[in-house]
Amino acid sequence: MNRLAIPLVGLAALLASCSSQPRPYEPERIDVTLAAPADRVKHAVTDVLTRGGYDVEWTDDQTMSTGYREEIPGPWDWMLRWRFGTIKSRVEAVVSPATEQTTRLRLHVLSEGKDGLFTAWEDVQSAVPQSGENQLRLIKNELRLL
C-alpha cells in the first residue's frame, strides 16, 4: 500500500463513525382542565397565539389550528424558513367544556427544523418560547389562573 492510502482509510473510518441517526421527536401534547368557562379559554388561546405570531383559525366551536408561526415580520419570513432553515412551529387545540366553570384544553405543538439550504425539514423539539408548556403558561396568565 502506498503511504497516502492508510491515512485516507483512517479518515474515512473516522468520518463514518461520527454520523448518527437523528432522534425523532414526538410532538408536544398538553391536556389540562382549566378553571374557566370555555368561551374565556377560547378567547385566551386566540389572543396568546395571535400575539405569538400565529394565524389562528377556528374550524368549529371547539377545534383550532394555526399556520406556521411568522418568525420575522415582513417579506423576508419565507426566505428565512425556506432557504436558510430555522425551527418552524404550528399549534392545534381543542377546547371543550368539562362543566359550566371548567374547560378541558388540549394543545398540540408541532415543530420542524432544518439547519441549512440543502437539508430537509424534520421533526425537532420546540424552541422554548413556542413550547407547549410556555403556551399553557401564557394562556393561564391571560386567564389570571396563576
Report the alpha-carbon distance of residue 67 to residue 38 in Å, rounded. Answer: 23
Parse the chain into domains and list their residue ranges. 24-143
pTM for the complete prediction?
A: 0.74
C-alpha closest to that of 76 among 68, 88, 84: 84
The region of weakest confidence among 37-51, 71-85, 113-127 is 71-85
pLDDT score, position 111: 86
In the chain, what percentage of residues exceed pLDDT 90? 47
The fold of the 24-143 domain, in CATH, is Alpha-D-Glucose-1,6-Bisphosphate; Chain A, domain 4 (3.30.530)
| Spatial contact of 143 and 34, defined as CB atoms under 8 Å apart | yes
Report the alpha-carbon distance of residue 141 to residue 102 in Å, rounded. Answer: 16
| Cell numbers standing for residue 94 | 381543542
Quick count: other Cβ atoms within 10 Å of Cβ 69?
Answer: 21
Q: What is the pLDDT of residues 110-144, one digit of tens each?
A: 888 877 767 777 888 887 788 899 999 999 999 99
Report the alpha-carbon distance of residue 53 to residue 48 in Å, rounded. Answer: 9
